[in-house]
Amino acid sequence: MTNKFKTPLLVLALSCVLLLGACQKKSAKQTTPVQGRTLTAMVISDDHVIAPSLHDNGSSFQTYAENDGGADLKYSATIFKAFIEKALQTHPDVLLISGDITNNGEKASHEYVARQLKRLHRQGIRVYVVPGNHDINNPLTRRFKGKHQYEASGVGPEEFTKIYKQAGYGQAAETDPNSLSYLAKPSAKTWFLMLNSAIYRGNYQQGSSTVGGGLTDGTLKWVAKIGKQAKKQGATVIPVLHHNTMDHMMIHQDYTIGYAEQVRDVFTKAGIKLALTGHIHAQNIASQQVNGQTLTDIASGSLIIGSHYYGTLKIDQKTGRADYHATPLDVSGYLQRTQDAAAARAFKKYDHHVLYAAGYNAAIAQLYETRDENHLTTKQVQQLAAGMGQANIAMFRGTPPERSAAIRAWEKQPASTSLRTLILRTLELRGNLSWSGAVR
């Protein structure tokens, strides 16, 4: 009797699987090339997500998160989900992520992010990602439980591309044989060069991720080739990479890409006028004249720091001009909608504290070491540290701080005082949230 019904049941089961597969394929909107005059891209960087499954919010994780350089790691998954909700509401043509997708390259974190990105893919939003220095072959992958932390599984380059198959690597029009770089063509007239500037082959030997980055000669030759193709077809080429192509403010060591002058030379000769980067965590826009033309580098602020910016880039595909604007993500509003007002207030308080405290504590440590030679009282040290806390928020926000008593106290300090130049430079922050210009 069992054998009599075995084959029909198997056929029926296979039929159901095929039908379900067909349904799943139909559930994702077809991503045909953008036909309209304007192509809209949302841009984020350094979301540094740690999967909720990797911690229990216990004491070990709390201590770790509070010492993460001002980043709001505790709420990283929540912030990313708030961004996904915003992207679903605005429905751009493209989402670009310029690396440091995860906290420290944990496999569980990559898989968590990829699941969230599939929500966009199913709605026909094209997603293109590249790795940052934290994402691949990172020996510092960790999970947290109670008072302890443990090693967690990471990913290598091949596994990275598999996880993000629906986030660029499966939609590449062309791939670079020298790296994980690829070319994405959401339309005939707008191309995104997704460049892998991360260096990760020696990470396990050195016991940490490599902060600096670069592009190989082979990759630069590939970029030049793509540039020639684009010129023939009248297309705009915009590179997206983790490391900056030029210095931003005073933060540049290991943040600006290696052999940056050569990179800028290749970019401009390839007709590139705009690069989208990240890495420094601060929202900042810089430009340089190279080979008789202007090259602009928009460094996106980290999604999990300060204002939690996301960028919106609107490209006029007919004229080859573009407009960019950085907008703060309303994470508190998201928490109020999905949880309650108390959760929103708790986030807002913690979010401000963790960034302010990073600056305040850094200043306290340095000022106490030199307070005798600088003749500073304890009260003066604390006031100056408060000024550093305010300046730290402003630096990552990309706009100047108020000229408070704490900031003015720094103006009265000798020019040689540690941190003084950095803090006063934040008063000059301008033009980092919006940009308009030619991209072709």
Q: Structural domains in the chain?
A: 30-333+431-438 (3.60.21.10), 342-428 (1.10.246.180)
User: Is the pTM here over 0.85, yes or no?
Assistant: yes
Mean pLDDT of the chain: 92
Based on the number of CB atoms within 10 Å of its own CB, is 131 exposed (0-12), middle (13-18) or buried (19 or more)?
buried
List of residues 6+ apart from 416 with CB closer than 8 A: none
Q: What is the CA angle 247-253-257, rounded to 5?
A: 60
Based on the number of CB atoms within 10 Å of its own CB, is 288 exposed (0-12), middle (13-18) or buried (19 or more)?
middle
Model pLDDT, residue 217: 97
pLDDT in tens, 23-53: 333 344 556 899 999 999 999 999 999 999 9
Question: How crowded is the C-beta side of 365, counted as CA atoms within 13 Å?
Answer: 7
Model pLDDT, residue 12: 27
The amino acid sitting at 81 is K
Query: The sheet that has 38-44: what strands, in order across it?
Result: 126-129, 94-97, 38-44, 309-316, 321-328, 434-438
Model pLDDT, residue 411: 96
Query: The sheet that has 293-299: what strands, in order across it?
Result: 174-175, 182-184, 190-194, 236-240, 274-277, 293-299, 284-290
How far apart (Å, rounded) are the C-alpha atoms in residues 146 and 192? 43
Model pLDDT, residue 28: 46
Model pLDDT, residue 29: 54
pLDDT in tens, 179-226: 999 999 999 999 999 999 999 999 999 999 999 999 999 999 999 999
Closest CA to 141 of 51, 229, 241: 51
Residues of the chain under the 50 pLDDT cut: 1-28
Do 201 and 137 meet the contact criterion of CB atoms below 8 Å apart? Answer: yes
Model pLDDT, residue 30: 52
Structure tokens at 339: 């949880």
Model pLDDT, residue 252: 72
3-state SS track over the chain: CHHHHHHHHHHHHHHHHHHHHHHHHHHCCCCCCCCCCEEEEEEEECCCECCHHHCCCCHHHHHHHHCCCCCCHHHHHHHHHHHHHHHHHHCCCEEEECCCCECCCEHHHHHHHHHHHHHHHCCCCEEEECCCCCCCCCCCCEEEECCEEEECCECCHHHHHHHCHHHHHCCCCEECCCCCCEEECCCCCEEEEECCCECCCCHHHHCCCCCCECCCHHHHHHHHHHHHHHHHHCCEEEEECCCECCCECCECCCCECCCHHHHHHHHHHCCCCEEEECCCCCCEEEEEEECCEEEEEEECCECCCCCCEEEEEEEECCCCEEEEEEEECCHHHHHHHHCCHHHHHHHHHHHHHHHHHHHHHHHHHHHHHHCCCCCCCHHHHHHHHHHHHHHHHHHHHCCCCCCCHHHHHHHCCCCCCCCHHHHHHHHHCCCCCEEEEECC
Model pLDDT, residue 354: 95
Model pLDDT, residue 154: 98
How far apart (Å, rounded) are the C-alpha atoms in residues 307 and 330? 9
Question: How crowded is the C-beta side of 27, counted as CA atoms within 13 Å?
Answer: 10
Model pLDDT, residue 11: 30
Do 161 and 176 meet the contact criterion of CB atoms below 8 Å apart? Answer: no
Model pLDDT, residue 398: 97
